[in-house]
Structure 1
Amino acid sequence: MLHQISDAQGLMAMTHQDDKEQRYQRGRKMLHTLHGQHGLDIVDGLGAFAPDFARMIYEFPFADIYDRPALDLRSRQIATISALAAMGNALPQLDAHIAAGLHIGLTRQEIIEIIMQIAVYAGFPAAMNGLAAARAVFARLDEEAPKV
């Protein structure tokens, strides 16, 4: 028996897309939450070359999708890391989202397990490449960490 599917929470999230400037600012805030100033600098730098595309990045994924109430940021980062690793052709974005996942509280072991899980559905090459990306991000962050 089929039941009616409703996206009431999603619809409510979309109703607060009041005006373009507020949507743009919400997207910037969310991107900053995940990626810090470095993320804003990357998108703003892209905006100097392709301003419409940069605006789309702020407004669609970061204001319209990441700001929806049904999933927390941790769950969204798990999904994002999984998808990017499975795609196999988005290494810069995978690196950025692995770092963002750590920033919002995922552990290194959780990230390794997330990427190992994709071997079942996306294949071992995708998982191996994803694990190599995670190892590189972990090493970079260790190198950047203040020495005690």
Structure 2
Amino acid sequence: MNAEPRNPEPPSTEPRSNGESRLARGRRALAEIDGEAGHAVVAALADIAPDFATYLFEFPFGDIYSRPGLTLRDREIATIAALTAMGNAAPQLRVHIEAGLNVGLTREEITETVVQMAVYAGFPAALNGLFAAKEVFARRFPPAEGVLSEGSPASASPPPGVE
């Protein structure tokens, strides 16, 4: 029996900080992942819940996304899978599909991640996830003028009754 060698040192659980505050680390991570889209969400909440912006920067992006052990690509695969499985987070799923593309995921990797969720979250959740991906892909990668993509209709909207 070939066992994996044991590492006597547990993995680091500290975020990669370089002396940055949680807020600064979160702002940097969010900008790297979502570009201006994440900051637009924060700005949109300023008049109703300004503290929520701080929470959004510090916890998910300053603490979790900044941890060692997974790349941003890996974290976006996990996030896309989780949001797909939830089945009720289409706006956030679209944001993270965009983020996945921003950190180097391919359309095929994103599509396969969503398809995999059919096994664990069911076909309705996977269908909704696929239509969210199709919408993002159509926006990010518009077909050449006058050319439809591989036999599919020009619209990225799901057929009636699917969402």
Work out whether the TM-score is over 0.5. Answer: yes
Deviation at 1:47, TM superposition (A): 2.6
Identity %: 54
Distance 1:31 1:131, change over 3 A: same
Cross-structure match for 2:33: 34
SS, match of residue 78 in structure 2: helix
Q: Distance in 2 between matches of 1:45 and 1:101?
A: 22
Deviates more, 1:34-43 or 1:127-136: 34-43
Deviation at 1:41, TM superposition (A): 1.9
- The unaligned stretches of length 5 or more in structure 2 are 1-8, 145-163
Deviation at 1:51, TM superposition (A): 1.1
Q: Counting helix residues as a fraction of each chain, which structure ranks higher?
A: 1
Cross-structure match for 1:99: 98
- Which of structures 1 and 2 has the bigger CA Rg? 2
Runs of 4+ in structure 1 over 2 Å off: 16-19
Normalised TM-score (structure 1): 0.84
Normalised TM-score (structure 2): 0.77
Cross-structure match for 1:9: 12
Q: Distance in 2 between matches of 1:17 and 1:7?
A: 20
Tell me the number of residue pairs that the alignment of Structure 1 and Structure 2 aligns: 138
Structure 1 residues 35-68: Cα deviation after superposition (integer angstroms, max 9, x where no partner): 1012212212213320111110000000000000
Cross-structure match for 1:109: 108
Cross-structure match for 1:142: 141
